[in-house]
Amino acid sequence: MFNPRVKTWLDEYAADHQHPTNRLIHKLCVPLIVFHVLAMLDWVHLVALPIEGWSLTLGHAAAAAVLTFYFWGSTKYGFLLTVWAAACLWVSHYTPWWLTTVLAVVLWVLQLIGHRVYEQNTPSLSRNLIQVLIGPLFVFAVLLKDYRVGEFSAAGAR
């Protein structure tokens, strides 16, 4: 299902997300964090397209780069996260900037509370920046039951 290196990163991420309340916070917040990041990057227009009112944005470029990583890690999740990214970019066009900004602040505060209060550790991304990309993959894999928390090992075998 997952590339062996990505499986190892998923295991590392799981090790930092053991508390049920923190896992719930992440299940709710991580998909919305993907939304707010893509929405904010979508504010930066790079190239006007020949279609009236359309342009290539930093959101499109970032999504393409990150989705390449997800396809490398798992074809199934590459497709799934492509659909999610497309939905996020589409919805972002109808979301006021202030709501996206408020969401960003609230979601990240909730994430930090989850780690500080419940896990009593620092977020995984503070030790390994690749965990920024593993978070969405982890959440979707747990929700779809392709990755079970508690069934991981340092060697990456389940």
- Residues 110-136: tens digit of each pLDDT: 999 998 899 888 787 778 788 899 999
Query: Does the residue 152 lie in any domain?
Result: no
Query: Does the residue 9 lie in any domain?
Result: yes
pTM: 0.88
Q: Which domain holds residue 38?
A: 4-47+56-143
Query: Does the residue 153 lie in any domain?
Result: no
| Structural domains counted in the chain | 1
Query: Does the residue 19 lie in any domain?
Result: yes
Query: Does the residue 151 lie in any domain?
Result: no
Query: Does the residue 154 lie in any domain?
Result: no
Query: Does the residue 149 lie in any domain?
Result: no
| Per-residue model confidence (pLDDT) at position 121 | 83
Given a contact cutoff of 8 angstroms between Cβ atoms, the answer to whether 128 and 12 are in contact is yes
Residue from 85, 72, 73 nearest 141 by CA: 73
The one-character DSSP state at 147 is: S
153: pLDDT strictly greater than 50: no
Banded model confidence at residue 154, pLDDT cuts 50, 70, 90: very low
Query: Does the residue 158 lie in any domain?
Result: no
